[in-house]
Structure 1
Amino acid sequence: MTEKTPYATRPAPDLEWLRSLRNIVLYLARTPTSAFGLLVLVVLVLAAVFCPLIATHDPYLQDLQNTLAPPGGAHYFGTDELGRDIFSRLLYGSRITLTIISLVTIVVGPIGLFVGTVAGYFGGRVDMVMMRLTDIFLSFPSLILSLAFVAALGPSLNNAIIAISLTAWPPIARLARAETMTIRKADYIAAARLQGASPARIIWRSVVPMCLPSVLIRLTLNMATVILTAAGLGFLGLGAQPPMPEWGAMIATGRRYMIDSWWLVTFPGLSILAVSLAFNLLGDGLRDALDPKQMNRR
């Protein structure tokens, strides 16, 4: 009799997932540009989590006797027009940036995947209706459309997140639709259909996993646009409201003094630049790491 392979020796799905994740992280760490992006994002997360321990001052505490102080030992990045420590405000502002990124990703990813996979799988009128709706959102610049939504909802951080989410899902839907249309006629999709699987099951179990790598890369690359849009809304007074230490709002309040007090806009601007660049570099690295050709070489 032929011995059957014991169940215990079969590769566990969880171990395969962890092994794939480890390989991706190792690939990113070996690439200088991707490693820089990953390092910046790790610093962002650590700053957001441990900012109460790292911050040297209360970010909301005003010291009117020490306004517009230049960078020095007492205040690493100087103080603003109200005497608040800019270094501490940047650290606490990383929490706002991370919150915006997380919530937008949670909202945009599922919406874009749902619209794109359903439209690409069914085609016909379903595809036409969903894609025409997507085209309406794509016809407006994301910042202009976000301004319109925030103006209608009212200026606040939560409304800014909603507005950004409503304008960021169309590119994800377009990408998911293109991926779905290339795989919907595959043999394994036809086999699942012949076995009686419902369209919802086929989309969820067979189509969505194939679209996830491309969608993940697109989401990572989109985060730079999300950060810039959130900073733009904060700069215009439509995002986070004072005294919240949002980086765009800090630039808006410091631009009146930037001729003599350059640090008011320099450090928040560099923070926005570094995080946006990090997401772009990390997205490029993920695109190479998830490329089947690169995976075969490894």
Structure 2
Amino acid sequence: MAATIMTSTTANVAATYDGTPRSSSQALRQNLARGARRLTRNPLTVAGLVVVLGLLLLAAFAPWIATHDPFVQNLSKTLLAPGAEHWFGTDEYGRDIFSRLVHGSRITLYIISLVTIVVGPIGLAVGVISGYFGGWVDTVFMRITDIFISFPGLVLALAFVAALGPGLDHAIIAIALTAWPPIARLARAETLSLRKADFVVAVQLQGASSLRILVRHIAPMCLSSVIVRLTMNMAGVILTAAGLGFLGLGAQPPIPEWGAMISSGRRYMMECWWLVAMPGAAIMMVSLAFNLLGDGLRDVLDPRSE
């Protein structure tokens, strides 16, 4: 009898915890756990995630990780090769390259963060409005988008920086002005596939306004694709910022921006390879990491990849 009761109880417990979420918070936790498992299944994605997390930690604890002051010049130790005292060597002013790279990670994250904050909402808003309303609204928005897309991003950024003037903030504005069109195109394509969906028609019949439909129903459905695209765009943002810094139009000396470091060290690169190799390797690793992380996020957030 006791065995029968225990078996019945076990069956009831198993039926209760059959994996079906009992609340929205439980469903969210299950989705996050499932996404984390899928994200860590790919070793390349894990490698990209490790590098990105390392960049975040490097920027957060830069004053404690850096071995020297990145701005202090020591003309008695100029162009020293990598060694025990200066891990990545010194530049033409005797500044420690490792410390400048560590503090330069803050500049890189600053650029990425501001560009993402500006580009994401603008591209998403333009895309969903254009795709939902169609007609002349779609024509006007997409023709403006086509104008921006028709020029290479770096060339257009150079034009904007030339008009605004050199400087880190002007470079961020220029990059943001050239990076939103692909986001808008993607959001428009997603909206075109959603605007005639059953749930959209249902809320329209209930009298919901266009603004409510866009903000509460369509835009959230486009967020996953936009997040993936923004992550993969970060590599292009880093390269564009480094290119502007290399040309002297981005961050100005003595700010330790990686592109500007390559520009100042190119005069000595034949004899002192570490001046361009170290910041170049940092740019390559971080750009590749964001691409790998974007691929992994696409596998997690795209329901068609199931």
From 208, 232, 235, give the equivalent of 1:221: 232
- Residue 116 of structure 2 corresponds to 105
Unpaired stretches in structure 1, ≥5 consecutive residues: 1-8
Task: Report matched runs for 1:134-153 at 5 Å.
Answer: 134-153=145-164
Question: What is the aligned length?
Answer: 286
1:66 aligns with 2:77: yes
Change (3 A) 1:242 1:209: same
1:48 aligns with 2:48: no
- Whether the 8 Å CA contact 2:104–2:257 is kept in 1: the answer is yes
Q: TM-score under structure 1 normalisation?
A: 0.94
AA aligned opposite 2:179 = A
Percent identity reads 66
SS at 2:268's partner residue? coil
1:268 and 1:34 map into 2 onto residues whose CA distance is 23
Q: Deviation digits for residues 151-171 of structure 1, max 9, x if unmatched?
A: 111100000000000000000
Deviation at 1:289, TM superposition (A): 1.2
From 174, 185, 190, give the equivalent of 1:179: 190
- Residue 84 of structure 1 corresponds to 95
Larger of the two Rg values belongs to structure: 2
Deviation at 1:29, TM superposition (A): 2.0
From 5, 11, 14, give the equivalent of 2:23: 11
AA aligned opposite 1:11 = S
- Residue 279 of structure 2 corresponds to 268
1:40 and 1:24 map into 2 onto residues whose CA distance is 19
From 285, 288, 298, give the equivalent of 2:296: 285
- Whether the 8 Å CA contact 2:120–2:226 is kept in 1: the answer is yes
AA aligned opposite 1:229 = T
Q: Deviation digits for residues 75-112 of structure 1, max 9, x if unmatched?
A: 00000000000000000000000011111100000000
| Structure 1 segments (4+ residues) deviating >3 Å | 15-19
1:130 aligns with 2:164: no
AA aligned opposite 1:12 = S
Q: TM-score under structure 2 normalisation?
A: 0.91
SS at 1:256's partner residue? helix
1:208 and 1:165 map into 2 onto residues whose CA distance is 20
AA aligned opposite 1:119 = S
Q: Deviation digits for residues 196-237 of structure 1, max 9, x if unmatched?
A: 100000001110111011111111111111000000000000
- Whether the 8 Å CA contact 2:131–2:188 is kept in 1: the answer is yes
Aligned-residue Cα RMSD (Å) equals 1.2
Deviation at 1:19, TM superposition (A): 3.9
Unpaired stretches in structure 2, ≥5 consecutive residues: 1-20
